[in-house]
Amino acid sequence: DAGITQSPRHKVTETGTPVTLRCHQTENHRYMYWYRQDPGHGLRLIHYSYGVKDTDKGEVSDGYSVSRSKTEDFLLTLESATSSQTSVYFCAISHGDIYTEAFFGQGTRLTVV
């Protein structure tokens, strides 16, 4: 299995509070991604990173920010959580080239009440 760890695995938080999810890799892959998975929507890309301090927005980035200060860590922050951000969040890593696949973490189930 690819060395990719998400923390926490489960979290319940209140509306309006900040939340940070962490993705840690031991594979030295250049690309890291944050997705959310919701029924009926499949996987939607929130943000991704193509190197330390290099990040870009995905298709559903509103309300989320990210940071990557080290190759191995990619943080996703919900500045002020809302109920619409209740979801399962997946981190993924890849070399980024066309021939190799992405590897996914186990997911974080976030509930905003």
With CB under 8 A as the contact rule, which of the stretches 20-28, 69-77, 78-86, 93-101 interacts with other proteins?
93-101
What 3-state class would DSSP assign to 85?
Answer: helix
**Residue list 20-79, contact with other proteins (CB under 8 A):** 33, 41-43, 45, 48, 50, 58
CA distance 45 to 50: 14
The distance of closest approach from Cβ of residue 79 to other proteins in the complex, given in angstroms and rounded to an integer, is 24
* Listed residue (113, 108, 112) closest to 8, CA to CA: 108
Upstream peptide bond of 8 is cis (omega within 30 degrees of 0): yes
User: Which chain residues interact with other proteins by CB under 8 A?
Assistant: 33, 41-43, 45, 48, 50, 58, 90, 92, 94, 96, 98-99, 101-107
